[in-house]
Structure 1
Amino acid sequence: MKALKITYWVTTSIVALMMTYSAYAYLTQPAMTQAFNHLGFPSYFRIELAVAKLIGAILIITPLSSRIKELAYAGFAITFISAFIAHTASGDPVSIRIMPVVFLVLLSVSYYTYYKLPKAV
């Protein structure tokens, strides 16, 4: 039980911290504007995605109902899959394409362990 709880909190924290950092980067770093342009996305999408990532990061670490957490998990899963597709379609190297897949695996472990833990988490 203790290992399960540690696995849940470690994977969830990594995902939440990475989403928070990427949201910050989307809003403050000019390189991210260029990256979104490279992928063919408009500038406003970068801002919308940053806000969604911040909200999702808060939702997956706070003790809310499982239905709300499921929406955040689903949103992140869609984001990671879409990022992989966008980077692949734009011809980015494998080193860039693999990161969304790594975070999708971490998210999956977090989701799996969330449902294996007693509901008092």
Structure 2
Amino acid sequence: MTNLLNFPVTSPYSKYRITVYWLVTVFLVFELFYGALWDFNLLNKGYVYSILNHLGYPLYLAAILAIGKIAAAVVILIPGLWLLKEWAYAGVVILFIGGFLSHVIVGDGFGQFIWSLLFGIMALVSWKLNYQSDKVKSILIK
């Protein structure tokens, strides 16, 4: 069933799902862009380098992470590109869960690792609520 503009009529559940998806996704994409600015050392100069040093990672990893964050954020926002979205979400989840585990392994406190964990969960929620993710599953299963 469609309305006058040939858009499918959506149930209240579907409208709620789309609204929550966009709220979570916009916040996640903002964090990815904002985090890339930190990784490129444009904001709060030296902070990311001190964290990488504390965790035992090389400093050039900051630039690699920044480029990956920007690429993932762009792909997540662009309509279509279903398979690339799956890869972007996978990369973002690995990024944040890896950050969480890195802080836990070196013995950092709750305040150091909670944000990585929350953004990792947020990426999973965005992926799950993505109304296009069902299309990717149907393409891959065939």
TM-score scaled by structure 2?
A: 0.78
The count of residues paired between Structure 1 and Structure 2 equals 119
Percent of aligned positions with the same letter in both sequences?
Answer: 31
Q: Match for 1:48: what amino acid?
A: I
2:106 to 83, 90, 106: 90
2:123 to 86, 103, 107: 107
Greater helix share, 1 or 2?
A: 1
Residue ranges of structure 1 left out of the alignment (5+ in a row): none
Unaligned runs of 5+ in 2: 1-13, 136-142
- Work out which structure has the larger RCO, using CA pairs closer than 8 Å and 6 or more positions apart in sequence: 1
Amino acid at match of 1:99: W
Larger radius of gyration: 2
What CA deviation, in whole Å up to 9, does each residue of 1:64-110 have, x standing for no partner?
Answer: 32101000000011111110111111211111111111112211111
Say whether the 8 Å CA contact 2:75–2:81 is kept in structure 1: no
Q: Hey, which bits of structure 1, 4+ residues long, moved more than 2 A?
A: 115-119
CA distance in 1, matches of 2:113, 2:24: 20
In the alignment, which residue of structure 2 is the partner of 1:51?
A: 67
Does structure 1 retain, via aligned residues, the 8 Å contact 2:33–2:70?
yes
SS of 2:70's equivalent?
A: helix
Counterpart residue number, 2:21: 8
Find the counterpart in structure 2 of residue 63 from structure 1: 79
After TM superposition, give the deviation of residue 115 of structure 1 in Å.
3.7
Q: Equivalent residue of 1:43, what SS?
A: coil
How many angstroms apart in 1 are the aligned matches of 2:134 and 2:61? 37
**Residue-by-residue CA offset, 1:10-37 (whole Å, 9 max, x unaligned):** 1111111001101101112211111111
Q: What is the TM-score of this pair, normalised by structure 1? A: 0.91
CA RMSD of aligned residues (A): 1.6
